[in-house]
Amino acid sequence: MLIRFVHVIRVKDMMRFYTVLVSESTISEKISPGFRLRGVKNYEYMKDLESSVNCLKQVVIYLFMQNVMNHGMLFDLAKSIIQNMPRGCVDKFEDIYGWTYRDRRDLSEFVDGTENPKVLDERAEVAINKRTGGSYAVVQKWVHNMSLLQETADETKEKWIGRTLKDSFELIRKPNTSHVARMVGSDEFKAKKKHKIVRQAQPFGTLSGGAGLLFIAYAADTRNFDFMLDRMTGDSDDKINDNLMIFSRCVTGNYWYFPGQLEFNFLVHNLPIEILL
């Protein structure tokens, strides 16, 4: 099955698609029992989030297709992959098509990724695990309350986030429940971040069928995600939730591991025979 994916990926790479097949922790262990020996840690968020926000429902396999400028080509690729899967092996699937909104803003109209590392080397430092050469990732599907966002005053929304709406300037005085304060670990102005990630989120959806943010972020260690999720959901020492959840709810998501190129080649050429068939 994986070989079929690799064939499709190689063909589409000539069309400048960036495609990655990743899986959740238990599936990776079945594909390659040596994952742990090579330094890949268990990458599951082990806490029960049901009481606060249902962020991480289990999804087994994810196929990421990025850097795709033509929606029709992306649709054809997704269709080709699904049609070439062995009969009966897919219980259900969901294809989500993201897009760029204005000057890379979220549908809340706040700029997304303001604090992302700007230089490639800095992004690699944050996102790539030095031992394995791969990256851990978190993917979440957030559905926004578009009516609430429309009805709420900009000043109130800025306090929810901790930034100005127009220029994305950090508020000097912001609530400790603001998104910036929760993610950084402090409500102080320009506080040093305790944990960093590289965001690559995209808006999705329609006004009639639901819209929001497909949140994707990478880090060298899952502790970065754990810290931020704990502070979002009130599973931190101060027991405070993130104001982001006033207008958005997380409906599905998971942790993932993206193997580096050498690691991916190793996986493909050392698959158990039952996986290859």
Query: Catalytic annotation on 226?
Result: no
Is residue 199 within 8 Å of residue 228, measured between CB atoms? Answer: no
Number of domains the chain contains: 1
Please give the DSSP secondary-structure letter assigned to residue 41: P
Residue 69: pLDDT over 80: no
pLDDT digits (tens, 9 = 90+) for 71-115: 888 888 888 888 888 888 777 788 889 999 999 999 999 999 999
Residue 7 pLDDT exceeds 50: no
Lowest mean pLDDT among 62-66, 160-164, 196-200: 62-66
State how far the Cα of 119 lies from the Cα of 122, in Å rounded to an integer. 5
pLDDT of residue 193: 94
User: 115: domain range?
Assistant: 2-276
CA neighbor of 116 nearest in space, from 107, 127, 108, 129: 127
**3-class secondary structure, 130:** coil
- Predicted confidence at residue 32, as pLDDT, reads 58
- What percent of the chain clears pLDDT 70, i.e. is strictly above it? 72
What is the four-CA torsion angle of 218, 74, 107, 205, rounded to 10 degrees?
A: -120
What does the pLDDT read at residue 23?
53
**pTM of structure:** 0.82
The residue from 106, 112, 226, 242 that is catalytic is 112
Read off the pLDDT of residues 140-195 as tens digits, 9 standing for 90 and up. Answer: 999 999 999 999 999 999 999 999 999 999 999 999 999 999 999 999 999 999 99
Strands 198-199 and 202-206: unpaired
| Residue of higher predicted confidence among 244 and 29 | 244
